Amino acid sequence: MVVILKENPDKQQLNKLVKWLESLHLKTHLSEGAQQSILGVIGDTSVVDIELIQALDIVEDVKRIQEPYKNANRKFHPADTVIDLGTCKIGGGNFALIAGPCSIESEEQILGVARAVKAAGARVLRGGAFKPRTSPYAFQGLRDEGIKLLLEAKKATGLPVVTEIMDLSQLPLFDEVDIIQVGARNMQNFELLKALGRVRKPILLKRALAGTLQELLMSAEYIMAEGNEQIILCERGIRTFETYTRNTLDLSAVPALKTLSHLPVIVDPSHATGISRLVPPMALAATAAGADGLIIEVHNDPAHARCDGPQSLTPEAFADLSKRINHILEVR
């Protein structure tokens, strides 16, 4: 951490600051210049609340040098985290295809899609029961009933399942769910993150529309600080000025996150683009960029899907894409 001091800082206040930092087991070095002095702070600064220092009269600015996260940091945990679902693994060289409908609509639909995506190579089944929708008048998901149908599809196909939680009061319904998804809108729902830190199952944490990579890792840190270290990070597009696509898929997040952290990183090209014909090229690109998996929307009848139809692939298109992804995996 580097503290940039105002011109002619009050000596007494500076002394006080130095003593406080040293009481936190940090080392400080003062570099004095004619117009500007800086105080270098060395040690574990992740516990320091940067705003406390920023607010001091003698301080012009504070810049972090170390990342403010620890459990999620590759520097302190060099080996890749591997999520083991029994039937498949994610991370540490293991790639997993996750697929299924945006929302669960009926037994017939979820079972049909589950069988189709399994046959095409998917290793995990996705399906939304609780649906975050911008409008209160849009279909909100089958909720409890949806979870039940998803678990039936799990039984029928043997595929582990992932579905989204929207509020911590729903947690009891997720007992047999294999991976709990935290959606982009809840990336900074800190009470939910803390509760999921006390759960013992993998969490699929999606990046918020305006979430920086550092904030995504800090949200992972919230979960990990409570004891749950099984987290899968998911890039799903960020909000920018471009309106042609629903969001802008930030694929550089894949190698960046894998450098900064040991957690597996997957990509959701369906929500990122919002346009089914852009899903295959972005899925292939994400694979080439080094993603540990993909989560893709597949619907048996996209034109009549109750949500996100425009971005869903048919089972046939998914099967074709799955083959092309395998070709990339062989050469990447």
72 in Cβ contact with 224 (< 8 Å):
yes
82 in Cβ contact with 90 (< 8 Å):
yes
Q: Nearest CA to 272 among 36, 289, 259, 27?
A: 289
Smallest gap, in angstroms, from Cβ of residue 125 to its own copies? 21
Residue 204, classified by CB atoms within 10 Å of its CB into exposed (0-12), middle (13-18) or buried (19+), is buried
- The single residue among 162, 302, 315, 317 that binds its own copies, judged by CB under 8 A, is 302
Smallest gap, in angstroms, from Cβ of residue 166 to its own copies? 5
Smallest gap, in angstroms, from Cβ of residue 319 to its own copies? 17
Q: Does 55 bind its own copies (CB under 8 A)?
A: yes
Q: Nearest CA to 132 among 162, 167, 99, 106?
A: 167
Q: Which of residues 71-130 bind its own copies (CB under 8 A)?
A: none
Q: Which of residues 14-43 bind its own copies (CB under 8 A)?
A: 27, 29, 31-34, 36-38, 40, 42-43
The single residue listed with the structure tokens 């042609």 is 244
CB nearer to its own copies: pick between 8 and 137? 137
CB nearer to its own copies: pick between 86 and 135? 135
Smallest gap, in angstroms, from Cβ of residue 184 to its own copies? 9
Smallest gap, in angstroms, from Cβ of residue 312 to its own copies? 8
Choices 93-101, 110-118, 120-128, 168-176; region in contact with its own copies by CB under 8 A = 168-176
Q: Does 315 bind its own copies (CB under 8 A)?
A: no
Give the 3-state secondary structure of residue 292: coil
Q: Does 137 bind its own copies (CB under 8 A)?
A: yes
Choices 83-91, 104-112, 119-127, 303-311; region in contact with its own copies by CB under 8 A = 303-311
Sorted by sequence, the CB contacts under 8 Å of residue 283 that are 6+ apart come out as 267, 269, 294, 296, 321, 325
Q: Does 314 bind its own copies (CB under 8 A)?
A: no
Kindly state the helix (H) or strand (E) to which residue 283 belongs, with its residue range.
helix 279-288
CB nearer to its own copies: pick between 86 and 136? 136
Smallest gap, in angstroms, from Cβ of residue 220 to its own copies? 10
254 in Cβ contact with 265 (< 8 Å):
yes
Q: Nearest CA to 297 among 288, 285, 280?
A: 280
In total, the chain counts a number of residues equal to 332
Choices 53-61, 80-88, 90-98, 108-116; region in contact with its own copies by CB under 8 A = 53-61
Q: Which of residues 186-225 bind its own copies (CB under 8 A)?
A: 186, 188-192, 194, 208-210, 212-215, 218, 221-222, 225
Smallest gap, in angstroms, from Cβ of residue 243 to its own copies? 7
165 in Cβ contact with 148 (< 8 Å):
no
Distance spanning both ends of the chain, measured CA to CA = 38
Residue 233, classified by CB atoms within 10 Å of its CB into exposed (0-12), middle (13-18) or buried (19+), is buried
Q: Which of residues 242-301 bind its own copies (CB under 8 A)?
A: 242-245, 248-252, 254-256, 259, 272-273, 277-278, 281-282, 284-290
> Which DSSP state fits 231?
E
Token couple for 109: 């639909």
Query: For its own copies, how many residues bind (rule: CB under 8 A)?
Result: 108
